[in-house]
């Protein structure tokens, strides 16, 4: 993620925002070299808002199912997860 200073942002705001909008670039804004903010492309609220524990768990379970369906090796996805936990 590119870093730009606050002063640069003040003088080039339209260019920076155009880059964010058109090229989906994210910028870290700094003040005297210290990060103070991040500019990110706009996304729907459900993409930006942090997930709840329950919705994150549901996503994990769906991913587990997809991995299990794609598994062609002699070990199941569940076996591999058990092995990774050791």
Express each pLDDT in 31-85 by its tens digit: 999 999 999 988 755 565 666 788 888 888 898 888 777 766 677 777 777 878 8
- Tell me what pLDDT residue 81 has: 77
Residues 9 and 39 placed together within one structural domain of the fold: yes
Residues 35 and 62 placed together within one structural domain of the fold: no
**Host domain of residue 62:** 50-85
Query: Residue 64, CB half-sphere, CA atoms under 13 Å: how many?
Result: 12
Residues 56 and 69 placed together within one structural domain of the fold: yes
Per-residue pLDDT for 3 more than 70? yes
- Residues with Cβ < 8 Å from 41, sequence gap 6 or more? 20, 21, 24, 25, 26
Q: How many domains does the chain have?
A: 2
Predicted structure pTM score: 0.51
């Amino acid at each position: 993620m590119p870093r730009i200073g606050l002063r640069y942002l003040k003088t080039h705001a339209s260019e920076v925002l155009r880059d964010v909008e058109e090229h989906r670039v994210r910028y870290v804004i700094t003040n005297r070299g210290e990060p103070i903010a991040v500019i990110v492309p706009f996304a729907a609220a459900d993409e930006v808002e942090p997930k709840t524990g329950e919705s994150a768990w549901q996503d994990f379970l769906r991913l587990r199912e997809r991995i299990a369906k794609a598994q062609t090796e002699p070990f199941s996805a569940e076996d591999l997860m058990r092995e990774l936990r050791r």
